[in-house]
Amino acid sequence: NAGVTQTPKFQVLKTGQSMTLQCAQDMNHEYMSWYRQDPGMGLRLIHYSVGAGITDQGEVPNGYNVSRSTTEDFPLRLLSAAPSQTSVYFCASSYQGLAGPSTDTQYFGPGTRLTVL
Amino acid sequence: GENVEQHPSTLSVQEGDSAVIKCTYSDSASNYFPWYKQELGKGPQLIIDIRSNVGEKKDQRIAVTLNKTAKHFSLHITETQPEDSAVYFCAASIYYGGSQGNLIFGKGTKLSVKP
């Protein structure tokens, strides 16, 4: 299994540009989420999904859109990038089902470092 | 909502010493507490977790303790090694049914182990 993969690894945007951060997992996980990590702020939840077709907002959703058309993919869209969105973005996934707590470990991808000029 | 405080923000120890990182949470309904290790340029990796029906859990040199009454939990690393140097994050989540609730993270502790 490749686990959780993210592309691109690095990206530089100009203010106002749009882009999509890609996230995919091959573990058949129902739960997927996006976090941003800023210096001294820890990881903050942007959006999450409990299954295909179901998404919801996290702690800092403004400026970001998500969709979940398949179990495997959970892209994060920036419609009009702003300098405040300069950050490292992590996608994570975990199993959500009937197997019990031992399978609920949340696995993180390697991250995308985004700079908005 | 849940709020997680983590201390200290930086911690420097000599190789072989023990390291302790402490976290407090605000929501008494939180019942799942994972700890993540993040190495430079990588994503966080789960190293140990504990649920609210357990007071302590050990895995080799790593242990986590939970005090539900005081709403705090701690990570203990014994016999530290240079490869333990990383940023450590605690988190709290409400676990309901068969799913894991959203994680609220502390702000992290940068641990440096000096040879």
Q: What is the pLDDT along chain A (117 residues), one digit of tens a residue?
A: 779 999 999 999 999 999 999 999 999 998 899 999 998 888 999 998 888 898 989 889 999 999 999 999 999 999 999 999 999 999 999 886 434 444 467 899 999 999 999
Facing residue for B103 by CB, picked from A4, A101, A106: A106
Distance (Å) from the C-alpha of residue B82 to the closest C-alpha of chain A? 22
pLDDT > 90: percent of chain B? 77
A61 in reach of chain B (CB within 8 A): no
Among residues B102, B110, B114, B90, the alpha carbon closest in space to that of B39 is found at B110
For B42-84, the pLDDT digits (tens) are: 999 999 999 888 899 999 999 999 999 999 999 999 999 999 9
Question: CB distance from A20 to chain B under 8 Å?
Answer: no
Q: How far apart, in whole angstroms, are the C-alpha atoms of residue B13 and residue B49?
A: 23
With an 8 Å Cβ cutoff, are B32 and A48 in contact? no
Question: Which of A32, A45, A106 is the mutation pick for testing B, counting most B CBs within 10 A?
Answer: A106
| Per-residue confidence (pLDDT) for residue B77, from 0 to 100 | 98
Contact with chain B for residue A48, Cβ under 8 A: yes
Report the C-alpha gap between B65 and B46 in whole angstroms.
16
List Cβ neighbours of B115 (8 Å cut-off, separation of 6 or more).
B15, B82
Most B CBs within 10 Å, among A43, A49, A91, A112, to test the B interface: A43
Inter-chain touch B99–A50, beta carbons under 8 Å: yes
By C-alpha distance, which of B2, B3, B48 is closest to B21?
A: B48
Inform me whether the pLDDT recorded for B4 exceeds 50: yes
